[in-house]
A and B are shown apart, each in its own frame.
Chain A
């Protein structure tokens, strides 16, 4: 863990060497989702609601998934950018060091400019929460935190899967975007507005539904039945990262036997 912070420090220093571009990118990261959110707002202005969901409810959904996304892109960027690491042959370097490959890859890159995106989604979160009639309890607050963290785990899991693919091929990795960017776009609306199969896929296979839709029902008092189950769904969702780590280990083993 200490090592991870060291990596953080050194890469922060690196990025600070290019201050102007750092600030510009941060501002850009603020405005890109801002434009998307503006679009969302305008659509609600025209249509009023989407399958019974009101604007602020959807805004909360939006904020949670975008926060998770920006956090994961900031801290797990090493896996997201892994293909360049492999292409440059720098993965060999990682293997000759006495630390786990996981922490070294994680520490190989941080994208601090995503703070702009994080700020944007945090603002949306505050705005949405202050306009929603939620009776706050400690458990509800914890659930909200769990939602965001679980999202980070799921995004990281997908990055790891995509990174593992690099051990076999570095072509066509763009497909992973379907699940990261695509998952984010899908999950910024409550999942039940989609066709059944989409909802199911993003609940049980790639569990974005457990990050915002299901616990959101609980937060808004819309769930029927067991509260506890809805509270714990984010935790269940984060389990997603475990098989991903396993696959990663397999990938490293494959790399070391082929050296491609």
Chain B
């Protein structure tokens, strides 16, 4: 469905000069630096997948999205999406995709949402009948009944994002690109948006590519993640695999009856200790959690034990550190 092979892209960036003399010079000759935004990126995405595309700011996420949505032409490499090369058959190709840029709006600010939908219908040449069924469905699942007749400027951020997503689905695309769809939303709206993405993926089989900084989005939606840093592909695989490989640490919190001296358990490092409570960290790659707990019971009289896996957020931070990005 989506196939990228050896995509590279570099930008020429004009050096900003400070000082009057430098600036005067820049009028005649500008110095440029070449920034490699993408280096030899390849991956394949199958129909019906939800893929989380992650990486720190400036890693090249938006550049990839822009190439995949036909906005940018890469320097080298091939990209085939549903049989099209995005940047070559732009107008034919883009009928098949929907794009949401989380930070920008595609709705007309001063008119009711429904008017924007109508216009999009004409832009994408959607037949009336099809338009009707699609919007009805969208309005129902996204609960837009109340807000569809108010101008966009009166909507809250969460309401607006729901409308944005609906707007990008009016023409029934097969692929949906979501660039930070939950940015700036409150917890309730985030969950609503996630729920909806899941629904359209399951019911309509829409392939979703999602970039985000919120790892909870990824955890809730994507089975597969692609990690990119400094323009290079770093990891491509299952989220569970990523966790297995990098998220092997577990945190054990033990509460017990009072005890005077600190506990000592082989294989676990003590993060904090008090006469009634200890927090331990275990690397499950080398030691079993159950062994640790057995050890614990020999040393203290346990009252309660909780075991937490390392939050995905931490794993990503760790990964970024590891790859020095």
Contact = CB atoms under 8 A, between A and B. Distances in A.
A104 B122 CA distance: 12
B106 A98 contact: no
Contacts of B92: 98
Interface string B1-41: 00000000001100000000000000000000000000000
Nearest to B106: A93
Scoring A17, A18, A100 by chain B CB atoms within 10 A of each residue's CB, the highest score goes to A17
Contacts, number: 77
Contact of B94 (A13, A15, A98): A98
B104 A256 contact: no
A29 to B, nearest CB: 20
Given A13-B111, A259-B11, A259-B63, A95 B116 contact: no
B94 A10 contact: no
Nearest to B121: A6
A14 B99 contact: no
A3 B122 contact: yes
Interface string B258-284: 000000000000000000000000000
Interface in A137-190: none
Interface residues of A, number: 28
Given A256-B71, A257-B73, A10 B119 contact: yes
Interface stretch (A52-60, A84-92, A123-131, A237-245): A84-92
B115 A10 contact: yes
**Among A17, A89, A92, A96, residue most surrounded by chain B Cβ atoms (within 10 Å):** A96
> Main SS of the interface on chain B?
mixed
Contacts of B108: 10-11, 14
A13 B123 contact: no
A182 B118 CA distance: 40
A96 B70 contact: yes
Interface in A90-141: 90, 92-93, 95-100, 104
Contacts of A6: 118-119, 122
Interface residues of B, number: 34
Given A10-B116, A256-B87, A257-B72, A93 B110 contact: no
A258 interface: yes
A5 B71 CA distance: 26
A46 interface: no
B19 to A, nearest CB: 18
B39 to A, nearest CB: 16
A7 B119 contact: yes
A196 interface: no
B251 interface: no
Interface of A: 2-3, 6-7, 10-11, 13-15, 17-18, 88-90, 92-93, 95-100, 104, 256-260
5 contacts: A6-B118, A14-B110, A14-B111, A98-B93, A259-B71
Given A7-B119, A256-B72, 19 more contacts: A3-B122, A10-B119, A13-B111, A14-B108, A17-B111, A18-B110, A92-B66, A93-B104, A95-B69, A95-B71, A95-B94, A96-B94, A97-B123, A98-B90, A99-B91, A100-B91, A256-B87, A257-B72, A259-B71
